[in-house]
Structure 1
Amino acid sequence: MAQVPAVADLEAQTPRLPAPAPSLGMQRTMPQVTSVNQLSDVRPTDWAYQALASLVEKYGCIAGYPDGTFRGNRAATRFEMAAALNACLDVISDRFASKEDLATLQRLAEEFSSELAVIKGRVTNLEGRVANLEATQFSTTTKLRASVIFNVSDVLTGTRAVAANAVPNRGPTIEDNPVATYRARLNFDTSFYGKDVLRVRIQAANMPNYGTVTGTNMARLSYDTNTGGQFTIDDLYYRTPLTNRLFLAFDASAGNFDKNVFTFNPLLQSDETGAISRFGRFNPLYRFGGGAGLTLRYTLLENKERGTGLTLNLSYQAPNAANPDRNTPNTNGLFDGAYAALAQLDWRPARNLAMGFTYVRSFGVGVAGGTGSRGFAGSAADPIGNNDNANAAADNFGFQFTYRPIQKFNIAGWVGYSNVYQVQGFTGPRPEAEVLNWAATFAVPDIWRKGDVLGLIIGQPPQTISVRNVSNAPGATFNSYHIEGLYRIPISRNISITPGLIAVVNSNSNSNNAPLLLGVVRTTFSF
């Protein structure tokens, strides 16, 4: 029980009753110990005062004055006595107190029962008010949340991947060295009325892009970025609920869809503690955009008791929103340039099962999210050739799910399909291509200790399954596979280490390419 505040105030609110004048007979028969319930003040000579002072000195029930002393030389009100007694009741236990002291404590509790009831009632009321304030308070200041990743990685085997129709040099292993790199992020979060958040994130990093080293984006890490060691603004957004059902997010920078909608891979979607590969986090269509935009999320149906519901997500992102130049082929600007517009329906038919149905209409942006085949016309990174995504539009469809049959096992997965076609800048038949990817993820949390996760990811990164009217395209071959294993080890609440392996078979949709194997150890600090 917390200290009873402002005892003097309680005293001021309590009427003092004058002690009745004893008759002569009473004086003759009165015992030496006066009953304290007849007094408004308890003096140092009274039995109750001396008994309580003895308990305080023996068991250290209260600290007394700021100098740590208990000044038992002045009269105390009944409420002051009750407050002190209440502190002793909280401290003294029958496990170590003597029978005599417990009997004294019981008698004191009976003598001051009415005052104890009043004090406990007022303290309970105060505690309720404090709990309400703590539950409804919000920060009017900016809070710092930070994360730092230390990475050690290396390509362990394989030759550099080449285009789908080329024959690689079956020479030595890719000539690279093990690297030790970092990424540091500082998030400054501000709330103006308790439920909203304005985030400004700056980051510095020197992580390698293994797509350049290996010749395929299928081998990229989930957290690869390189700012040359300089801090830059990486994220800037404002999020707020408009009603109990409607949520708004405005992105001023780096507004990918995955930051604002559910991606259905809850245990492995984080680049700090989840999948170690870029492809293994979520469906690549969530990476479209990357600029400024707006997201609305509306809860259509919800049953909190059953954990079921239906949510509609609408989002618009423009990667070149900060550039006013009306260029050719007109990919700049907020509304009249490159864009990606998403509509997603989240359906949760049961507490442990959720599914997402996604459609993205895009223009002037890639459809592989930096995860699939690359380096040739007809690849996932360049489906209509000539590196001409700026002239391409696409209809993109996605299905995602996550299922947790038992507490310590989660299954998730997705399928993504894109129909890409050129809309301007071509003569003759229109170039078109279809791109497909899928993945299944398995996560086992708390398998040996609380906070650990054992993960397995199997899938096929984005590859073209059909190519039409694209010059120099080798044709569509859907035969690349991604296999990833990892184990997150929590060292403490703020530190984790994740060793893992990434294997890519038939990279760039070319069975002549030797398998790639990457070894990674990621250490994450969060505070």
Structure 2
Amino acid sequence: MAQMPAVADLEAQIPRLPAPERSLGMQRTMPQVTSVNQLSDVRPTDWAYQALASLVEKYGCIAGYPDGTFRGNRAATRFEMAAALNACLDVISDRFASKEDLATLQRLAEEFSSELAVIKGRVTNLEGRVANLEATQFSTTTKLRASAIFSVSDVLTGTRAVAAPGRGSTIEDNTVVTYRARLNFDTSFYGKDVLRVRIQAANMPNYGTVTGTNMARLSYDTNTEGQFRIDDLYYRTPLTKRLFLAFDAAAGNFDKNVFTFNPLLQSDETGAISRFGRFNPLYRFGGGNSAGLTLRYTLLENKEQGTGLVLNLGYQAPNANNPDRNTPNTNGLIGGAYAALAQLDWRPVKNLALGFTYVRSFGTGVAGGTGSNGFPGSAGNPIGNNANAAADNFGFQFTYRPIQKLNIAGWVGYSNVYQVQNFTGPRREAEVLNWAATFGVPDIWRKGDVLGLIVGQPPQTISVRNVVNAPSATFNSYHIEGLYRIPISPNISITPGVIALVNPNSNSNNAPIVLGVVRTTFSF
């Protein structure tokens, strides 16, 4: 009978995985089993089964899955058995093992030598990748999400919009190439919440200045003169299963926290190319350097039928960061300008959603940076002094998807504006109205594309009383917009579009203004 090799010699001949594999291996992630009978994928007729049975029952060293199987095809089972052998070697090397058991281990190691070699190579590669990740990762709790917009735009035709009964001169402008870059740092502390810090740099033109009317503003226009600045700062978290909280510390708007009922076209990066075409302007009434709070509570919900009822309550103060009281009715979180929102989202059937919105505002405009502007009685300045103006604002929104490849959405917004302070004589009052219908056709030629059409009337004053130098109210401006979003890849899209404004600033003496835009969006 041949002499059995020494224990140390046998241990040296058995292939062993590196230490990191043992720490990342099956023993750490799976509960240990005490009998090979629990490893149901290993057939009792195999010699390896008998060897495992002897070692497991003696040393309790092999780990299996919770359901007692190796889970996999034959090749996978062999790799898992190789890993199990390494686990057994770890256990046995710390104990006084017999020569017979060491010989069994050696035979098993020779049987699964190729699998052990492959696993060792994979572990070495994994070690390198883990080390690189640990050295270069940004944060374990924060994710970086970024986007960049390159825009080519031009006023194709039109005259500068002025108040009635005047007529503006021809718009002199050049084709421009501009950009907007955003870096979003999203941090989650327990998986369901998010703290966002956004920095932004841009040199986008404001076509309201170029054309004389905010009806011409683009959805993504902003200008930081190329300097990165804080653009968004908020925290969102569910408080209970039905109650959701959103706190805005900077650049808050209601549209960021409540449903706006225009799902295919509401995005400024991939949706409408106009500011007006995204959603009802009343969602911007608390805009500016706003801070505030929004609560969303689910009253009723049936996930199987896709129906439900949600109550939204929000408060925004556009100058919440300014404590100066020298300018009356303007600054501070409480006691200055504000907008308070209440909205019911109702889904009576799966493909239909209706929104009923009320906003009480004070010291703010009621056009949301859209519509006619620049003169007393315009939608942007309906009573000539927004600092002393209060308004009751009502909105109705809907979105309906009759078929998979068609979404119809729209809204109506009405504001009753009146002066409440610092006036003598008759009180100044005005009414402002806007409406729009949008049509989105997704995946019409290729997956991810959207053909969009927007038709409506931006905010315009339909009646005005006791406002000096205000022209007669005429509700005759129209907004017509067409666009097509072309997905180049999951992270790149190109959206050419055209915006046509008929009778801008509610003045039929103004020639129609037509803008051409090509927006390219990169996101990652």
* TM-score of the superposed pair, with normalisation by structure 1: 0.75
Aligned partners of 2:15 and 2:113 also within 8 Å: no
Moved more, 3-12 or 202-211: 3-12
Pair 1:192-2:164 in alignment: no
Q: Aligned pair in 2 of structure 1 residues 435, 29: CA closer, same or farther (>3 Å)?
A: closer
Q: Aligned pair in 2 of structure 1 residues 94, 411: CA closer, same or farther (>3 Å)?
A: farther
Provide Cα deviations, 1:103-160, integer angstroms capped at 9, x if missing partner: 9999999999999999999999999999999999998521100000000000000111
Task: Using the TM superposition, give the Cα deviation of residue 14 of structure 1 relative to its aligned residue in structure 2, in angstroms.
Answer: 19
Following the alignment from structure 1 to structure 2, what is the Cα–Cα distance between the partners of residues 406 and 267?
14
Any runs of at least 4 consecutive aligned residues in structure 1 with deviations exceeding 6 A, and if so which? 1-139, 168-172
Following the alignment from structure 2 to structure 1, what is the Cα–Cα distance between the partners of residues 505 and 6?
75
Task: Using the TM superposition, give the Cα deviation of residue 236 of structure 1 relative to its aligned residue in structure 2, in angstroms.
Answer: 0.2
* Pairing of 1:390-409 with structure 2 (within 5 A): 390-409=387-406
Moved more, 83-92 or 378-387: 83-92
Aligned partners of 1:44 and 1:73 also within 8 Å: no
Task: Using the TM superposition, give the Cα deviation of residue 436 of structure 1 relative to its aligned residue in structure 2, in angstroms.
Answer: 0.1
Aligned partners of 2:39 and 2:70 also within 8 Å: no
Task: Using the TM superposition, give the Cα deviation of residue 331 of structure 1 relative to its aligned residue in structure 2, in angstroms.
Answer: 1.1
Q: Aligned pair in 2 of structure 1 residues 10, 281: CA closer, same or farther (>3 Å)?
A: farther
Aligned partners of 1:4 and 1:123 also within 8 Å: no
Unaligned runs of 5+ in 1: none
Task: Using the TM superposition, give the Cα deviation of residue 327 of structure 1 relative to its aligned residue in structure 2, in angstroms.
Answer: 2.4
Following the alignment from structure 1 to structure 2, what is the Cα–Cα distance between the partners of residues 149 and 180?
10
Following the alignment from structure 1 to structure 2, what is the Cα–Cα distance between the partners of residues 3 and 142?
61
Aligned partners of 2:235 and 2:248 also within 8 Å: yes
Tell me the residue number matched to 1:522: 519
Moved more, 288-297 or 334-343: 288-297
Aligned partners of 1:42 and 1:78 also within 8 Å: no
Q: Aligned pair in 2 of structure 1 residues 116, 256: CA closer, same or farther (>3 Å)?
A: same
Aligned partners of 1:43 and 1:74 also within 8 Å: no
Aligned partners of 2:317 and 2:336 also within 8 Å: yes
Provide Cα deviations, 1:156-193, integer angstroms capped at 9, x if missing partner: 001111112xxx88787411000000000000000001
Tell me the residue number matched to 2:98: 98
Q: Aligned pair in 2 of structure 1 residues 516, 132: CA closer, same or farther (>3 Å)?
A: same
Tell me the residue number matched to 2:144: 144
Following the alignment from structure 1 to structure 2, what is the Cα–Cα distance between the partners of residues 369 and 412?
19
Q: Aligned pair in 2 of structure 1 residues 152, 96: CA closer, same or farther (>3 Å)?
A: farther
Give the greater-gyration-radius structure (CA): 1
Task: Using the TM superposition, give the Cα deviation of residue 366 of structure 1 relative to its aligned residue in structure 2, in angstroms.
Answer: 0.4
Provide Cα deviations, 1:426-474, integer angstroms capped at 9, x if missing partner: 1111000000000000000000000000000000000011001111111
Q: Aligned pair in 2 of structure 1 residues 518, 34: CA closer, same or farther (>3 Å)?
A: closer
Following the alignment from structure 2 to structure 1, what is the Cα–Cα distance between the partners of residues 180 and 196?
18
Following the alignment from structure 2 to structure 1, what is the Cα–Cα distance between the partners of residues 280 and 218?
15
Following the alignment from structure 1 to structure 2, what is the Cα–Cα distance between the partners of residues 137 and 23?
22
Q: Aligned pair in 2 of structure 1 residues 321, 91: CA closer, same or farther (>3 Å)?
A: same
Moved more, 188-197 or 139-148: 139-148
Task: Using the TM superposition, give the Cα deviation of residue 62 of structure 1 relative to its aligned residue in structure 2, in angstroms.
Answer: 19
Moved more, 7-16 or 473-482: 7-16
Q: Aligned pair in 2 of structure 1 residues 237, 191: CA closer, same or farther (>3 Å)?
A: same
Q: Aligned pair in 2 of structure 1 residues 260, 78: CA closer, same or farther (>3 Å)?
A: closer
Following the alignment from structure 2 to structure 1, what is the Cα–Cα distance between the partners of residues 29 and 148?
81
Q: Aligned pair in 2 of structure 1 residues 138, 57: CA closer, same or farther (>3 Å)?
A: farther
SS in 1 for 2:356: strand
Q: Aligned pair in 2 of structure 1 residues 54, 253: CA closer, same or farther (>3 Å)?
A: same
Aligned partners of 2:11 and 2:102 also within 8 Å: no
Following the alignment from structure 1 to structure 2, what is the Cα–Cα distance between the partners of residues 352 and 214?
39
Moved more, 284-293 or 31-40: 31-40
Unaligned runs of 5+ in 2: none
SS in 2 for 1:22: helix
Task: Using the TM superposition, give the Cα deviation of residue 229 of structure 1 relative to its aligned residue in structure 2, in angstroms.
Answer: 0.5
SS in 1 for 2:34: coil
Aligned partners of 2:329 and 2:335 also within 8 Å: yes
Task: Using the TM superposition, give the Cα deviation of residue 330 of structure 1 relative to its aligned residue in structure 2, in angstroms.
Answer: 2.5
Aligned partners of 2:41 and 2:71 also within 8 Å: no
Moved more, 468-477 or 57-66: 57-66
Over the matched positions of the two proteins, sequence identity in percent amounts to 92
SS in 1 for 2:432: strand
* TM-score of the superposed pair, with normalisation by structure 2: 0.76
* Pairing of 1:96-495 with structure 2 (within 5 A): 140-164=140-164, 173-290=170-287, 292-386=291-385, 390-495=387-492
Aligned partners of 2:38 and 2:68 also within 8 Å: no
Following the alignment from structure 1 to structure 2, what is the Cα–Cα distance between the partners of residues 22 and 515?
73
SS in 2 for 1:518: strand
Aligned partners of 1:210 and 1:219 also within 8 Å: yes
Aligned partners of 2:183 and 2:200 also within 8 Å: yes
Task: Using the TM superposition, give the Cα deviation of residue 475 of structure 1 relative to its aligned residue in structure 2, in angstroms.
Answer: 1.6
Q: Aligned pair in 2 of structure 1 residues 426, 496: CA closer, same or farther (>3 Å)?
A: same
Q: Aligned pair in 2 of structure 1 residues 135, 273: CA closer, same or farther (>3 Å)?
A: farther
Number of matched pairs: 522
Aligned partners of 1:36 and 1:48 also within 8 Å: no
Task: Using the TM superposition, give the Cα deviation of residue 262 of structure 1 relative to its aligned residue in structure 2, in angstroms.
Answer: 0.2
Following the alignment from structure 2 to structure 1, what is the Cα–Cα distance between the partners of residues 339 and 14?
70
Aligned partners of 2:167 and 2:509 also within 8 Å: no
Provide Cα deviations, 1:393-423, integer angstroms capped at 9, x if missing partner: 0000000000001111000000000000001
Following the alignment from structure 1 to structure 2, what is the Cα–Cα distance between the partners of residues 26 and 259?
45
Following the alignment from structure 1 to structure 2, what is the Cα–Cα distance between the partners of residues 273 and 15?
56
Q: Aligned pair in 2 of structure 1 residues 86, 287: CA closer, same or farther (>3 Å)?
A: same
Aligned partners of 1:17 and 1:40 also within 8 Å: no
Name the Cα RMSD after superposition. Answer: 12.6
SS in 2 for 1:41: coil
Provide Cα deviations, 1:364-383, integer angstroms capped at 9, x if missing partner: 00000111001211000110
Following the alignment from structure 2 to structure 1, what is the Cα–Cα distance between the partners of residues 129 and 484?
45
Q: Aligned pair in 2 of structure 1 residues 3, 493: CA closer, same or farther (>3 Å)?
A: farther
Aligned partners of 2:340 and 2:360 also within 8 Å: yes
Provide Cα deviations, 1:80-99, integer angstroms capped at 9, x if missing partner: 87989999999999999999
Following the alignment from structure 2 to structure 1, what is the Cα–Cα distance between the partners of residues 286 and 432?
18
Aligned partners of 1:34 and 1:47 also within 8 Å: no
Q: Aligned pair in 2 of structure 1 residues 368, 27: CA closer, same or farther (>3 Å)?
A: closer
Aligned partners of 1:44 and 1:72 also within 8 Å: no
Aligned partners of 1:465 and 1:478 also within 8 Å: yes
Aligned partners of 2:35 and 2:57 also within 8 Å: no
